[in-house]
């Protein structure tokens, strides 16, 4: 084998990967139908196992309290290690619900870990033919972005079925998924009993002021960086990138932001929203990056509108964001405005 033949053979996997990635770009945007009281939703466990039946009961009862009927995936109480069953079985529950005309939305019980393992087993042709609401967050980031990348379907970064259903979060779910409203998201500006003089919770900090419009993409930073280089990463050209995380030392956040930079994602976006990093700290050692230093190193040089502190993340009320839909952001005000409704 001569050098030219060797180089072409070595490049074949890369060319194939690029070809696959190219198929995820330029797809028409698909919007699912809005939810209505009485609609049926499918409950699945694409990530960590549902270890106790009470978790399933709470998820089902929460959805029923929204006026919805619930179908439970066949494998929802399965377990494989820490996962909610074998990869093909978890994927089969999702495929089955997308192929079921009586089901209008597919919702996970929880996040955790394992969603990215089932991406190769999803039936993207069926999903494209039968667009439905898919919502979740944390590890479900892999599902939201993978399905959008391969089908063009707008997915939703919002509460998991077994997660937090506080009044604020429920209100936004109803406005976005039931009413089809083009919502402007901004943090509540309230004082608290702890400090009645000025706001101490849900504050935003502008990194780079300005406004920008683009397709909203992102989610959990750890999960997003874990699927880089795969055919399940959307096209971030001219996008608005949003990020959040939980339980990470700040040096790890810096490492993952570096990964996004080296992958060419940061240089391609029109704006960046960093939500919260719950339970994140300096870790062991004598020194650490601060969040402000990480943002200064990675986001300020981009020169695009950016801020942090948005209500996107864990352990707090959260927005219901349309992944893959057009939005306009204002980094000075800390707002995200949907250009149009995310459902039909």
Q: Is the pLDDT of residue 15 over 60?
A: no
Same domain flag for 143 and 195: no
Same domain flag for 231 and 137: no
Q: Residue count of the chain, please give it.
A: 344
Q: Residues 53-87: pLDDT tens digits?
A: 999 999 999 999 999 999 999 999 999 999 999 99
Residue 316 contacts by C-beta under 8 Å, 6 or more apart in sequence? 164, 202, 276, 278
Same domain flag for 154 and 291: no
pLDDT band at 337 (very low <50, low <70, confident <90, very high): very high
Same domain flag for 333 and 227: yes
pLDDT band at 153 (very low <50, low <70, confident <90, very high): very high
Q: Is residue 7 a part of any domain in this protein? A: no
Q: Is the pLDDT of residue 19 over 60?
A: no
Per mean pLDDT, which range of 25-29, 177-181, 285-289 is the poorest?
A: 285-289
Same domain flag for 107 and 205: no
pLDDT of residue 25: 60
Q: Is residue 175 a part of any domain in this protein? A: no
Same domain flag for 292 and 150: no
Count structural domains, the chain.
2
Determine contact, residues 211/235, Cβ cutoff 8 Å.
no
Q: Is residue 170 a part of any domain in this protein? A: no
Mean pLDDT taken over the chain: 91
pLDDT band at 282 (very low <50, low <70, confident <90, very high): confident
User: Tell me, what CATH number does 134's domain have?
Assistant: 3.40.50.10740
Domain boundary among 114, 131, 164: 164
Same domain flag for 216 and 146: no
pLDDT band at 22 (very low <50, low <70, confident <90, very high): very low
Same domain flag for 147 and 193: no
Domain boundary among 164, 192, 226: 164
User: Tell me, what CATH number does 190's domain have?
Assistant: 3.50.30.60
Q: What's the whole-model pTM score?
A: 0.91
Domain, as residue range, for 188 = 184-338
* Share above pLDDT 90 across residues of the chain, in percent, rounded to a whole number: 81
Q: Is residue 128 a part of any domain in this protein? A: yes
Q: Is residue 239 a part of any domain in this protein? A: yes
Q: Is residue 135 a part of any domain in this protein? A: yes
pLDDT band at 286 (very low <50, low <70, confident <90, very high): low
Same domain flag for 74 and 150: yes
Domain boundary among 110, 135, 164: 164
Strand 103-108 to 40-44 pairing: parallel
**Long-range CB contacts for residues 201-204, cutoff 8 Å, separation at least 24:** 202/309, 202/311, 202/316, 203/309, 204/307, 204/308, 204/309, 204/310, 204/334
Q: Is residue 169 a part of any domain in this protein? A: no
Where are the alpha helices (H) located in the chain, listed in sequence order?
3-23, 53-65, 87-98, 124-129, 141-151, 167-173, 221-226, 250-262, 291-298
pLDDT of residue 88: 97
User: Which two three-digit tokens encode residue 121?
Assistant: 């087993």
Strand ranges, E, within 120-237: 133-136, 155-157, 184-185, 205-208, 211-220
Same domain flag for 199 and 290: yes
| Structure-model confidence comparison of residues 72 and 51, the more confident one | 72
Same domain flag for 236 and 301: yes
pLDDT of residue 198: 84
3-state secondary structure of 308: strand
Determine contact, residues 176/135, Cβ cutoff 8 Å.
no
Mean pLDDT, residues 21-40: 82
Q: Residues 184-235: pLDDT tens digits?
A: 999 988 888 788 778 778 889 999 999 999 999 999 999 999 999 999 999 9
Q: Is the pLDDT of residue 9 over 60?
A: no
Same domain flag for 130 and 223: no
Q: Is residue 77 a part of any domain in this protein? A: yes
Q: Is the pLDDT of residue 1 over 80?
A: no
Catalytic residues: 138, 244, 314
Q: Is the pLDDT of residue 24 over 60?
A: no
């Amino acid at each position: 084998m001569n050098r030219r033949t060797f180089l072409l053979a070595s490049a074949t996997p890369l060319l194939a990967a690029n070809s696959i990635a190219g198929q995820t770009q330029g797809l028409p945007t698909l919007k699912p139908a809005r939810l209505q009281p009485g609609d049926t939703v499918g409950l699945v466990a694409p990530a960590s196992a549902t270890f106790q039946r009470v978790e399933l009961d709470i998820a089902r009862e929460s959805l029923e309290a929204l006026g919805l009927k619930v179908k439970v995936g066949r494998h929802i109480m399965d377990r494989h290690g820490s996962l909610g069953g074998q990869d093909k079985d978890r994927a089969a529950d999702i495929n089955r619900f997308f192929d079921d005309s009586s089901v209008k939305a597919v919702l996970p019980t929880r996040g955790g870990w394992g969603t990215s393992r089932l991406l190769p087993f999803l039936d993207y042709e069926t999903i494209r033919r039968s667009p439905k609401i898919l919502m979740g967050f944390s590890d479900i980031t892999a599902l939201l972005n993978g399905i959008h990348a391969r089908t063009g379907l707008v997915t939703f970064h919002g509460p998991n079925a077994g997660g937090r259903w506080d009044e604020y979060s429920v209100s936004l779910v109803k406005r976005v998924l039931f009413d089809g409203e083009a919502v402007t998201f901004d943090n509540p500006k309230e004082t608290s009993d702890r400090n009645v003089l000025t706001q101490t919770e849900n504050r935003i900090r502008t990194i780079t002021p300005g406004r920008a419009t683009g397709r909203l993409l992102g989610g959990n930073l750890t999960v997003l960086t874990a699927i880089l280089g795969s055919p399940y990463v959307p096209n971030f050209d001219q996008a608005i990138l949003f990020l959040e995380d939980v339980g990470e030392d700040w040096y790890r956040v810096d490492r993952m932001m570096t990964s996004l930079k080296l992958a060419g994602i940061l240089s391609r976006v029109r704006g960046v929203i960093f939500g919260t990093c719950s339970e994140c700290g300096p870790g062991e050692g004598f020194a650490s990056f601060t969040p402000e230093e990480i943002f200064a190193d990675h986001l300020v040089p981009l020169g695009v509108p950016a801020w942090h502190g948005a209500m996107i993340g864990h352990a707090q009320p959260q927005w219901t964001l349309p992944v893959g839909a057009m939005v306009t952001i204002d980094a000075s005000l800390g707002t995200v405005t949907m250009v149009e409704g995310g459902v039909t």
